[in-house]
Structures are given as C-alpha cells and as structure tokens.
Chain A
Amino acid sequence: MSEQLLDTESIEPIEKEPGRFREALHQLKKNKGAIAGLIIIAIFLFIAVFAPVIAPHDPLSQNIELRKSAPFTEGFLLGSDDLGRDLLSRIIYGGRISMIIGVVSVGIALVFGILIGVISGYYGGWLDKIIMRLIDIMLAFPYVLLTIVIVAMLGPSLTNAMIAIGISQIPRYVRMVRASVLAEKEADYVVAERSLGASNFELMFRSILPNCLAPISVQASLGVGEAILSSAALSFLGLGAQPPTPEWGLMIASSREFITSAWWIVTFPGIATLLAVLGFNLFGDGLRDMLDPKLRD
C-alpha cells in the first residue's frame, strides 16, 4: 500500500531550485535602472568608506591665497572654495556624512515604524485607533516643517538632524507596516501557526513580519535618498551640520553668493547630492519591480 503511495508521488520531478541569491541576481539583471542605481550606491559607499585614502587633500585645511581656484588649477581637481579648501576632498568627506545620515535616519524610522506598525495592525482595537490618530497628527504637518520643528526643539546639529529626519519618516512606515500586517494576519498560516502553539510575539515578528518585508525594503531604499536630501536642506537652512563640517547642503548654502563668480563651489556639491539621491531612487524603484511577483518571469 505504502509502496504504491511512494510511486505515484515520485513521478513529480524534484528539480533543483536556484538559490535565493541567484534568483535575485537574475531579476536584477533584467532591470537596467536598478543596476544603475546599485552601481551609483556602490561607488558612493566605496568613497565613503575609503574617504581618507581617496581624498587628495585635507578637507579642512585652508589656503587663503589659493581661494576660489577654478577646477584643474593649482592642483585642485574640482577647484577650491572661498577659503581655499579642496572641493573634491570636501565632497568626498561629505559623501561619508550623507551616507551615515541616510542609513541612521532611515534606521531610526524603520525600527520605530515597524515596531509601532506591527503592534497597531496586529492588536487592532483602541490601541490601533490611538496610534493611528497620533500618526494622523504627525502627517498633518508638512514633512519639512515637521523636521524643522523637531530640530529647532533639539537644537541644530548633525546628530539632531538625523534624529529629526528619522522621526519625521516614522509615520509612513507605521501606516505601510500596519496595512501589510492587517492583510497578513487573517491569512490561514497565521491561524495554523497559532494552532501549533505560537505566541503573539512569535506570530507578529516571526510569522507575519517577514511576509511584509517587500514594501518595507522598497520604502527604505527610497527613504535613504530622501533623508540625504532632507539633511542637505536642513544644513542649507543652518539647522543641520555646522561649519566647518564638509556637508553637501552646508557647502551649497555657504557658497551660494559666489554662484556668479565661482560657479564650481556651489555646483559640484549639488551634483553630488543629485547623484546620490538618484542612485537610491533608481534602486528603490527597481527593487519594487523585482519584488512584485506579477512582473517576474
């Protein structure tokens, strides 16, 4: 009897499934935008990690005599700023700061967003109502305004800018995670796992959350780009990094008066910001396509 059972089932071929990494790579190859984004991100990460090795000059050392040198003169590849500091070196070190800002502020937003969103979606009821109304209040403020308000309360500094950006980004993760959890918690496998003795905590964070990761990772990737942009904006307004820190937004702000006389001082940090944000956005969009099962082959 059991022999027969085995026979009928063994007809089904057991093909070797490609690994997850190979499959991800295959999906990635089809998406040119995502590859471009990934390459840009990789370059910026490389520059950020090896900044001291790559930078030709000390980003902080001033040379008043060589101030506002044009690109390719006096040994400055991208020229020098109004205090005679090497622009290229400052942009390279600025990349380091921007990457840290992006990762840390999105990290803050993710941790709290996921925690609050999962709890809100899973338990529902009055707890969910209270959390969602608080989130509504946060969303009622324009994003930049909310960030500025928080920095103004904490005091202007780079660390506080990261915290402010992180907090301002929390609501979108809460809403997204909550929506995913609401959809997933009714799934049969959740009831099945509960029937096998899983606790609420296990169900929330071990069963349901991994099933919600696709939209979260897309949003996180896009969020890094936005965080870099926001920190540049805050520094531009004087609420983020303080001089002489080589931060892109701050560099643009402090040199905008020279835009007619020495265009390079304000242009190159701007291009760097643009490229970094573009990289994360391209990658985020590509990730969304990759994780959408309907667009797979």
Chain B
Amino acid sequence: MFEGIKKALTRRRLGPPIVVISGLPRSGTSMMMNMLKGGGLDLGIDEIRKADEDNPKGYFELEQVKDLDKGDKDPGWLRAYRGKGVKIISFLIPHLPSDNYYKIVFMRRELDEVMASQAKMLTRRDEEDKRGDDEKMKRNYSVHLKKVNFEMRESMHIDHLYVDYKEVVKDPRAQAEAIASFLDMNLDPAKMAAAVDAKLYRNRS
C-alpha cells in the first residue's frame, strides 16, 4: 500500500505520461503506433525512416530515440513528448531517464515469428545476419525480455501494459478498448481498431 502511494506521488510530480510503444523490433510496435494515431494520440515521429516493404504503413520512429543508450547525450529532449506517444524498442527501456512518467504499451509476439521477420528484414537491408544461431538468439531475447519486465515492474516512474500481437490481429476492438482504458487519454477505440490491417500479419509460426 505504501508503495502504491509513493508511486502515485512520483507520477504526480512528473506530470503527464510519455506513452511509450515498446517491444522487440518486429513485434507489432509500428502497428500499435498506427492504432494510437488513429485513436487520436499525438505521436513523436520525424519521418526520417520511410515506409518500405517491411513496414508498408511506416515506422513511426524518432531518430533521437536511437541514441538513448549513449550516456554522453542528454535525454532531456524526451520531456517535450509528455502527453504524446513515442516508439522506443525494448532494448532502450532501461535507458529511459527517470525524470519522466511513462505509460508503456509493450507488444508481445512469439519469438519464432519475431526472429523470422527480423531475418527477412536483414536480408532486405542487405545486412549480414549477426544473430549467431537461432537458439542462442532466442535465449538472449528471452533473458532480455525478463530483464525489461523486471525494470518496468519495479520502476516508480513506469506503468506498463502487455499487448499480444496475435490478439490485436484477432480482435482489434477488444484490445483497443483495453489500451485506451490503460492510457486514459480519451482515445477512440473504434478508430484505433480500424487502423489494424490483418493482411500485414505475414510471418506466422
């Protein structure tokens, strides 16, 4: 109970939340950004990374985010996104500065599907696949996700909601309702649900 009060006071001090859409790359984070945009949330995006075959509706990214793990760069710019949505992949969650309050919508997808989709993306980007063997990478991701879960659960300045990619594709309206309720920012669940394009669920396990 004391923890709850402490957390509530911390959040109050930090002002409106930054809505963070997170997860492993290829777990549905762009789809979620598109849903939130449809629902009426202002997004922090810069359009530097353009839509392509891997993400036909766009990446919804902010280049500055990609430097969050570089300790030498001041992450104070994030404050400008209070009350807005920003895509920040799971790897960078431990680097979120604690002087903001974050509501994280964390996408979950089967690791085999994530890895298959990443492998295709690497091929298209003409990048060497640096993953090592699949089983090892799967273990790495699995450990990584546990660490991030711990970070989100234990941090005073973070609230989180897990959203299953498959469930969104299967029943967008129900998931949109749950997400809108979690964020509590007057989003329109019907418009959020309408932004889901099931045809883009291409790597199925």
A, B in one complex = no
